[in-house]
Amino acid sequence: MIGLPNLLLKRFFISLLTLLLISIVIFFAVELRPGDYAEAFLMRWALPETVAQYREILGLDQPSYVRYFQWLGGVLVGDFGRSYANDQPVMALIWPRFKDTLFLASYAAVVAIPLSIFLGFVTVLYRNRFLDRAVNTVALVAVSLPEFFLAYILISVLAVGFFDGDGYMLGGLFPPIAVVNEDLTFLQRIHVTALPAMTLVLVILAHTMRMTRATVIAVLSSPYIEMAELKGLRRRRIIWRHAFPNALGPIFNVIAFNLAYLITGVVIVEVVFVYPGLGSLLVDTVSMRNVPVVQGACLIFAVVFVGLNFLADFLSIVTNPKLLYPIEGRKD
């Protein structure tokens, strides 16, 4: 048997190594982009001497590996560098945007996670019936459509609206652009961000619901479930009291994956709705070649993604103690 602290410590060091490799990929992938900020800022008609002097001011005249270790050393103490555009600390630009992204992700998660688990169990209760087929068809359609297409559909129906047979215009329920600021109350912010949150909910709801359904169906084929059925227990009780606890591990994994997507995969949704989150900041800074902000935003996304996957591993181990045993010595 492998001790729980030892296994978690091993997974923790693997996560740190993963983040180190990701930091290398982030830094040098940005470096491979043609051109640099000095040339973009001074434009092509600037004198070579001026460009060289500006590169020296920004530190771009140093070798890439030197700048990587300088950047990594700063990151380890919480210093992500300074923006090329306005010389502000990168974290001062990232943190307000990251809080807005967290708000939008939390909004979508609070709605999607409980609803998807509930629908997953409902489809198992009514397996191979009309309700099961209808919910799965809608979920499959939602998974197949890209986020920007879902976003534009929601904007067309719920924001712009359409005319019915009497010429009355429906829609206008929510604003098509999610512009938020500190003056908005909590309820106003909920209303303004409803459409981007709905877009994210539709995407992760379908995925989590289908995974929950598949996991519970797999558990229901276990021998102890057959024994519970032979004892005459009601199917609803079997699912909630016997199948659900043993399906928690895979469900936790898919929930953690979807939470990571909510935070790291909202770039397209934020751009469509002009939402001032970290994703839209990343798009803007990439076009400006503002390298420190791009690297900082990408690393924040990576930390969140790896951290949530580590949390999923922890929850899987806690809910399934069999993972503490080596495969060759495990007794199922």
Quick one: tokens of 181? 């600021």
One digit per residue, pLDDT tens: the chain, 332 residues? Answer: 456 677 778 888 998 999 999 999 988 887 777 666 666 666 666 667 777 777 777 777 788 888 889 888 988 888 888 888 788 888 988 999 999 999 998 999 899 888 888 888 888 878 888 888 888 888 888 778 888 888 888 888 888 766 555 554 555 788 888 888 888 888 989 999 999 999 988 888 888 888 888 887 877 777 777 777 777 777 777 777 777 777 777 777 778 778 877 877 788 888 899 899 888 888 888 877 788 888 899 899 889 888 888 887 777 777 666 655 554 444 44
Q: Please indicate, yes or no, if residue 57 is contained in any of the structural domains.
A: no
What angle, rounded to 10 degrees, do the helices at 278-288 and 90-125 form? 130
Range of the domain at 236: 4-33+80-130+203-329
Q: Please indicate, yes or no, if residue 251 is contained in any of the structural domains.
A: yes
What pLDDT was estimated at residue 241?
A: 73
Q: Please indicate, yes or no, if residue 253 is contained in any of the structural domains.
A: yes
What pLDDT was estimated at residue 20?
A: 92
Provide the CA 78 distance to its chain's centre, in angstroms: 23
What pLDDT was estimated at residue 21?
A: 93
| 130-133 contacts at long range (C-beta below 8 A, 24 or more positions apart) | none
What pLDDT was estimated at residue 17?
A: 93
Say if CB 260 and CB 269 are below 8 A apart.
no
Residue 240: count other Cβ atoms within 10 Å of its Cβ. Answer: 13
Q: Please indicate, yes or no, if residue 15 is contained in any of the structural domains.
A: yes
Number of domains in the chain: 1
Q: Please indicate, yes or no, if residue 174 is contained in any of the structural domains.
A: no
Q: Please indicate, yes or no, if residue 140 is contained in any of the structural domains.
A: no
pTM: 0.80
Euclidean distance between CA atoms 50 and 55, whole angstroms = 9
Q: Please indicate, yes or no, if residue 53 is contained in any of the structural domains.
A: no
What pLDDT was estimated at residue 309?
A: 82
Q: Please indicate, yes or no, if residue 264 is contained in any of the structural domains.
A: yes
